[in-house]
Amino acid sequence: MAAAPLDTVLHLATPEGVPLVVSPAGPVPRLYAWTIDLLLRGLIYALLGIALGMAGGLGMGLLLVLLFAGEWFYPVLFEVLRHGATPGKQMMGLRVICDDGAPVGWHASMIRNLLRSVDMLPITYAFGLISMLLSREFKRLGDIVAGTLVVYNTPLADDLPIPAAPPILPPAILDDDEQQAIVDFATRSDDLTPERRNELARLASPLIGGREATAQSLLSFANWISGRRTP
């Protein structure tokens, strides 16, 4: 699979101290994602209009309510409940995250989407485009106020071939290479014999402050590093 194009690269640290490298998405892929979402919403509205149009005035009143809700809550629901991605963003390989790399929540998503009304001014998202071009992170005004980023998607923890284990924060601060070594061990652990797993785990003891490491503890650390927070 071809690598995603890089507009720029940012180094972030999650609230747990885990470093992340993300690539903010520029105006062009975001325009494509917005267009896909616009067409999808238009199709939904057309189908609703046909169905509710047969109900007369009551149906048209209900349609107006659904149109209002769809325009304002469609992106919020998808961003919060679908890992930061509307269908359009998902098709373009994008997602919304917070400035510290954490998943976007209700408050931030509501703010960034409510401020679309400002980004749209005076026409055709002119303010939003100018803001993105002046920002290293390609943030529109809604992103600046909400503290969010639109980035190229990276594999979620559930997509990584890491055996499930209760996630545990490593007892020592690890640099990128050390974290990658633990994740690599976890992704290969099913292909190793128990004896080989324990042998390699003991070699990792210096990475966690000299405490004796076990294969199970490294799996727990790998789950934490990869972003899993529940067993």
pTM above 0.75, yes or no: no
Cα gap 73→78, rounded to integer Å: 9
Query: What is the rounded distance in angstroms from the CA atom of residue 18 to the CA atom of residue 2?
Result: 26
Q: Do 202 and 213 contact (CB within 8 A), yes or no?
A: yes
ω before 155 within 30° of 0 (cis)?
no
Q: What pLDDT, on the 0 to 100 scale, is given for residue 222?
A: 83
Digit-by-digit pLDDT tens for the chain (231 residues) are 344 444 467 767 665 555 667 789 999 999 999 999 999 999 999 999 898 888 888 888 898 999 999 988 999 999 999 889 999 999 999 999 999 888 899 999 999 999 999 999 988 899 999 999 999 899 999 999 999 999 988 654 445 677 878 888 887 777 767 777 888 888 888 888 888 888 888 888 777 666 677 888 888 888 887 776 554
- Partnered with residue 95 across adjacent β-strands are 151
Are 179 and 225 a contacting pair, CB within 8 Å?
yes
